Amino acid sequence: MEATPDLVRALIADQFPVWADLLVQPVATGGWCNRTFHLGVDKLVRLPSAERYAAQIPKECSLLPLLRLHLPLEIPEVLGQGAPALGYPYSWSVLAWIEGTQVPSDGTVDLDVLAEDLGRFLTLLQLAPVPGPAPGTHNFWRGGALQVYDADTRSALGRLQGRVDTERCLDLWDEALAVHWDQNPVWVHGDVSPANLIVRGGRLAAVIDFGNCAVGDPACDYSIAWTSLPYSARRRLRQTAGGDAGLWLRARGWALWKALISLAGEPGNQGEAQHRATLQAILDDPVF
């Protein structure tokens, strides 16, 4: 569903009239699961873009205020939860704007330092003493068992015959499936990517977009080691976060699944180079 500034203005006027005079503008770099708008200079509005993302807003609104109490970096501050209205069918939220930039790709941020900051943040997130939901359809099983995506991954490998080293990929996938999380469930962000990491002064300052959060196996959060970090930063994240070989085998499995289904389903797309780079990193560097 497409949201427009006019719709946002109408929803704000209807449910938060104290903010009705504030300027509404689309955020320059929006997300996929939500359409995001500036509200004045210090707020933003998030509206789910499809029904499959709708459950994430109430979840964030109930859990973010509790998680904020236990984390060393900023996470979104909930200012209000909107209800379906005016033809818009889902709950939506108003959050405080967090100053900073998404992780740039121009080399201006030391990714080794960023990896350390991220490793420490994820460690403390996992320890947060806040009850949370188990993985499920609400977060596309992030934090759950990789077996959920076994059929999809094998199907993708079948379509990629001749385009990737399918035999090697299948071996790595089977290695990931063979190890299981056998500890108490912990908090999982569910979508750790450069787009959701906010930096200020070259350091990680905030983590945003907790729509895929759950309590389960944290391996999915470490897939960023292959998707977005160079060799040295992968090592730094591994050293900072710790964990046994099984954790990192599953983390590599999450990165492998995403790269394979993306390459199989989107040949020639704009992101193909990135997915191929991820796959090459997986094949070259086990990080344990």
Task: Assess whether 248 and 119 both reside in one domain.
Answer: yes
- Is 228 found in the same domain as 206? yes
28 and 156 fall within a common domain: no
Q: Can you give the CATH number for the domain in which 78 is found?
A: 3.30.200.20
Q: Which of 96, 112, 130 is the last residue of a domain?
A: 96
**161 and 203, same structural domain?**
yes
Q: Are residues 65 and 143 in the same domain?
A: no
**Predicted TM-score (pTM) of this structure:** 0.95
* Residue 44 structural domain: 5-96
Judge if 26 and 114 occupy the same domain.
no
Q: Are residues 254 and 135 located together in one domain of the fold? A: yes
Q: pLDDT at position 266, please? A: 65
Q: Are 116 and 59 within one domain?
A: no
> In one letter, which amino acid is 103?
V
Same structural domain for residues 206 and 136? yes
User: What would the two tokens of residue 106 be?
Assistant: 């121009």
* Final residue before a domain boundary, out of 71, 96, 121: 96
- State whether 82 and 22 are in the same domain: yes
pLDDT string in tens for the chain (288-residue length):
679 999 999 999 999 999 999 999 999 877 779 999 999 999 999 999 999 999 999 999 999 999 999 999 999 999 999 999 999 999 999 999 999 999 988 888 999 999 999 999 999 999 999 999 999 999 999 999 999 999 999 999 999 999 999 999 999 999 999 999 999 999 999 999 999 999 999 999 999 999 999 999 999 999 999 999 999 999 999 999 999 999 999 999 999 999 999 999 866 666 889 999 999 999 998 776
* CATH code where residue 163 lies: 3.90.1200.10
Residues 160 and 235 placed together within one structural domain of the fold: yes
Domain boundary among 96, 130, 163: 96
Sign of CA dihedral 210, 211, 213, 219: negative
Do residues 88 and 50 share a domain?
yes
The number of domains in the chain is 2
